[in-house]
Structure 1
Amino acid sequence: MNYNKIRLYGAGGHAQIIKSILIHNGISVTDVFDDDPALSHHNFDKIIISTRKEVNGFPHKGDPFIIAIGDNKQRYQVSKFLKSEYSKAIHGSAIIDSSVKIGQGTVVYAGAAIQPNTTVGKHVIINTLASVDHDNIIEDFVHISPNATLCGLVEIGEGTHVGAGAVIIPEIKVGKWCVIGAGAVIIRDVPDFSIVVGNPGKVIKMNTDF
């Protein structure tokens, strides 16, 4: 469903980019919510500082949300309490094949490319100039960072963060809630909860943050 009014939960730098995408697409931002008073000066006309419980009771209930938070764990947590429909934000310069499936709440930044038969889950971030090749499966709450490259037939598990400039070669499966370091080159499957760095990528420890 297409919407012309969107609400944001989150008021940091990621939210500012989403706002820019929405304006580029002719969509207005009606409300911006956050629970951090330190963000009240950011580039928005008004930020509603509220508890996570209060946000569900505000007006404009018909307007869908985008969870405008870059951190995967926080985006996941907000999705569990926020009672709303969700919309997508896809920049007009992104190249997305017509066969691609994209879940609600997902954002695709400027210059990103997503090739045929790829499935992108809910509340995913495909960041600036990221390249996602054919037949990829990207599960919910993933973040593909700027200039990262996913070759064909790659699978990325729920909540995983793929760092800026990382490369994942074809037919690799990366587990859930992993962290792939910036510039890493992944040439073998990655187990759940792994933190991987280097070229070739090596598991240096397990992600205990989730």
Structure 2
Amino acid sequence: MPELVVVGAGGFGREVLDVVDAIGPDSWQVVGVVDDGPTEKNLELLARRDVAYLGTLESLLAQRDAGSVTASHYVVGIGSPAVRRAVAERLDAAGLQPATLVHPTVTTGFDVTVGPGSVVCAGVRLTTNIRLGRHVHLNLNTTVGHDTVIGDYVSANPLASISGDCVLEDEVLVGVAGVVLNGLTVGRGSVVGGSACVVKDVPPGVVVKGIPAR
């Protein structure tokens, strides 16, 4: 059974542990959690579920070099797309492999591709002919419509609704209950605010909010 390190002791990192638990004990062995600045509360919550805190990212890499941690795979449970990319690139360079975690309640249609390092949480609905890039986070009850392409390091927060024929470029973040209407593109690094409704293409590197989103 492959050994897995989760990066991030915060809320989403612990939700990643829930996804691993739901997948089942025969799929992954969680070695522990890495975090550069965990709160006392987060450490307490990890201890309650009997998951080891392995220290900082630097200490993990040092432990791997020394042979005291032998985990082959990792997943980044950090919400920020830019931070997630930076962490993943360091771990890739160190020789770890990104794990792909899909909760068993997720439904998928025909020809759906989920990229390495991605986390797809409970209740997500993926219809047909969909592409998810590397290290994508689809939070609880997100829906993604037909023929949509989602780039690398994209985050969709709970109840986000991405319609058909959309393109979400790299490092996009869609807030809680955010909506992207059919056939639209959200440019790289842009943020769609919580409960916003995108009715026209969004350029790169901007924040849009409201109904309609602007």
Give the TM-score, by structure 2 length.
Answer: 0.88
Structure 1 residue 55: Cα displacement: 1.8
Cα distance in 2 for partners of 1:76, 1:57 equals 20
Structure 2 match to 1:31: 32
Residue equivalent to 1:206 = none
1:86-97 map, 5 Å: 86-97=98-109
Q: Deviations over 1:176-204 (max 9, x none)?
A: 110100111111100000100111110xx
1:56 partner amino acid: L
1:121 paired to 2:139: no
Q: Is 1:152 aligned to residue 164 of structure 2? A: yes
Q: Secondary structure at the match of 2:207?
A: strand
Task: Name which of 174, 179, 204 aligns with 2:186.
Answer: 174
CA distance in 2, matches of 1:47, 1:180: 33
Alignment partners' CA distance in 1, 2:72 and 2:37: 22
Deviation sequence 1:147-203 (CA, Å, 0-9, x none):
11111100001111001111111110100110100111111100000100111110x
Corresponding residue SS for 1:146: coil
* 2:77 aligned with 1:74: no
- Write out the 4+ residue segments of structure 1 that deviate beyond 4 Å after TM superposition: none
Partner deviation per Cα, 1:77-108 (whole Å, 9 max, x = no partner): 11121121011111100112241111111000
What SS is found at the alignment partner of 1:129? coil
Matched, 1:47 2:53: yes
Cα deviation per residue 1:105-163 (whole Å; 9 max; x = unaligned)? 10001000111111001111011000000111100110011111111100001111001
State the percentage of identical aligned residues: 26
Q: Is the 8 A contact 1:130 1:148 kept in 2?
A: yes
- Separation of aligned partners in 1, 2:147 and 2:183: 10
Q: In structure 1, what is the equivalent of residue 4 of structure 2?
A: 6
Could you tell me which residue of structure 2 aligns to residue 57 of structure 1?
62
In 2: Cα distance, 1:179 partner to 1:162 partner: 6
Could you say what secondary structure the match of 1:29 adopts?
A: strand
Distance 2:16 2:197 in 1: 29
> Per the alignment, in what secondary structure is the counterpart of residue 53 of structure 1?
helix
Q: Which amino acid aligns with 2:55?
A: I
Unaligned runs of 5+ in 1: 203-210
1:184 aligns with 2:196: yes
Residue pair 2:157, 2:177 contacting (<8 A) in 1 also: yes
**Structure 2: unaligned runs, 5 residues or longer:** none
TM-score when scaled to structure 1? 0.89
Residue among 177, 184, 195 paired with 1:165? 177
Q: 1:47-92: CA deviations, max 9, x gaps?
A: 0112x33322324434200011122121111112112101111110
Q: Distance in 1 between matches of 2:69 and 2:98?
A: 13
**CA–CA distance in structure 2, aligned partners of residues 98 and 29 of structure 1:** 31
Q: How many Å separate the matches in 2 of 1:171 and 1:163?
A: 19
SS where residue 48 of structure 1 aligns? strand
Task: Tell me how far apart the structure 1 counterparts of residues 18 and 164 of structure 2 sit (CA, whole Å).
Answer: 30
